[in-house]
Amino acid sequence: MQYCRAEIARMAGYTPGEQPGDRRYVKLNTNENPYPPSPRVAAALRGLDPERLRLYPDPVFAALRREAAGLLPGTGPEWVLFGNGSDDLLTIAVRAFVDAGGALACFEPSYSLYPVLAGLQGAKCVTVPLTADFGMPADAAAQAEGCSLFFVARPNAPTGNSFPKEEMRRLCRDFRGIVWIDEAYADFAPDNCLEFVKEFPNVVVSRTMSKSYSLAGLRLGWCYARPELTAEMMKVKDSYNVGMLQQVAGLAALEDRAYVESGAATICATRDRAAAALVKLGCVPVPSAANFLFVRTPQPASSVFKALRANGILVRYFPGGRTGDFLRITVGTDAEMEALLSAMAEILKPA
């Protein structure tokens, strides 16, 4: 007897990165931030009277929306929607913009959750292959013809590179559906596409607190779009999809942008030093605009992955396809990257 929908029974589901419990690792596998969140977050949580938790949180997270709208001048709270992590917003997007039996598009390789969300909706996922150096093909919109939603991670994951802004503009102009620009890593990049939501009626840009804000455990993400679009997405979300602790801590974090920007600058500097050192070890990193490096290794990536793990260092390996020759390495502290580099030097040493 099968009790669940056939699509669900058939699908594999999303595989999250490992959160190990067996020993202490240098954990460079899930693109978390190695530094603590702004001290204002702890202060805000300490200041919350637990008695308030008796009540439901604000279903429309008004204070958060006001604060986030301030990051995009010329908009207001009605341009913003929050979610339980940006993954929640991606789910809302698929439920709002893709018919069961319809289709969404994403690049390959890109964030592996996108095809899973298509499967959950009973929709098709059209994967548009990136070019040999993980760039955007010029005919991306044509390849996604017939899809009602196109997920574009910029910077891309797991490759870490960013697509030129003019190519993004062309895609937004040419694609006849919603272009969802997933800017989970935008704070580590030299530019972003936030202003596109004012330029185009079909663009949504999402952000997360999980990376640059050092709050992956909080689960808070948000997106910007024209009010006509956010109003539709509001109908789809769970009534109370952002809890009170998330709202209190998230507001304090958003109010401390200076902390986020200086933390991101530190990580970018560490990233660029680590990339140069990896090149010296014979690795080939993809130019990164994110808080991780996607690195082709001179020995099989699967065995380097295993050897690093045996040395107490966790990175991410995506077997097969376009990604099987690479490791994705989150940028940690300088000390963590030193540990990674000396283990790599040992592993890659000629026999």
Residue in 38, 210, 214, 246 binding ligand PLP, rule: CB under 6 A? 210
Number of other CB atoms surrounding residue 181 within 10 Å: 25
Q: How far is the CB of 350 from ligand PLP (least distance, A)?
A: 35
Query: How far apart are alpha carbons 10 and 309 in whole angstroms?
Result: 31
Residue number with CB closer to ligand PLP (307 or 322): 322
DSSP string, 153-169: ESS-TTT-----HHHHH
Least gap, CB of 91 to ligand PLP (angstroms):
10
- Shortest separation between residue 117's beta carbon and ligand PLP, angstroms: 11
- How many residues does this entry show for the chain? 351
Contact between 121 and ligand PLP per CB under 6 A: no
> Residue 44: CB partners within 8 Å, gap ≥ 6?
248, 249, 251, 252
Q: Is 182 in the site for ligand PLP (CB under 6 A)?
A: yes
Q: Give yes or no for residue 115 binding ligand PLP (CB under 6 A).
A: no
Would you state the structure tokens that stand for residue 192, as one six-digit string?
């972003």
**HSE-CB for 239 with a 13 A CA cutoff:** 2
Residue 117 Cα to chain centre, angstroms = 15
User: Count H helices, E strands: the chain?
Assistant: 13, 12
Site for ligand PLP contains 157 (CB under 6 A):
yes
* Candidate ranges 83-91, 127-135, 243-251, 267-275; the one touching ligand PLP (CB under 6 A): 83-91
Cα gap 336→195, rounded to integer Å: 36
Dihedral sign for Cα atoms in the order 225, 230, 233, 237 = positive
Q: Which of 84, 307, 35 is nearest to 206 (CA)?
A: 84
Nearest to 63 by CA among 253, 232, 217: 253
Task: Out of 87, 123, 252, 339, name the contact with ligand PLP by CB under 6 A.
Answer: 87
Contact between 304 and 327 under an 8 Å Cβ cutoff? The reply is yes
DSSP 149: E
Structure tokens at 50: 């637990």
Exactly one of 29, 31, 75, 91 binds ligand PLP (CB under 6 A); that residue is 31
Which one among 48, 60, 63, 216 touches ligand PLP, defined by CB under 6 A?
Answer: 216
Q: Least distance (Å) from ligand PLP to the CB of residue 112? A: 9
Output the smallest distance, CB 334 to ligand PLP, in A.
23
Tokens of 62: 């008004």
Question: Residue 153 or residue 267: which is nearer to ligand PLP going by CB?
Answer: 153
330: β partners: 292
- Sign of torsion over alpha carbons 303, 304, 305, 311: positive
- State the nearest-atom distance from the C-beta of 29 to ligand PLP, in Å: 11
Q: How far is the CB of 326 from ligand PLP (least distance, A)?
A: 15
Closer CB to ligand PLP, residue 19 or residue 303?
A: 19
Give the strand pairing for 103-108 and 80-83: unpaired
Minimum CB–partner distance for residue 104 and ligand PLP (Å): 15
Other CB atoms closer than 10 Å to residue 167's CB: what's the count? 15
Query: Binding of ligand PLP at residue 189 (CB under 6 A)?
Result: no
Give min distance, CB of 3 to ligand PLP, in A.
28
Binding footprint of ligand PLP, residue count (CB under 6 A):
13
Q: Which of 29, 33, 208, 330 binds ligand PLP (CB under 6 A)?
A: 208
Stretch that binds ligand PLP, among 81-89, 135-143, 171-179, 322-330 (CB under 6 A): 81-89
- Which residue sits closest to ligand PLP, CB atoms considered? 85
Which range binds ligand PLP by CB under 6 A, 45-53, 80-88, 130-138, 325-333?
80-88
Question: Where on the chain is the footprint of ligand PLP (CB under 6 A)?
Answer: 31, 85-87, 111, 153, 157, 182, 184, 208, 210, 216, 221
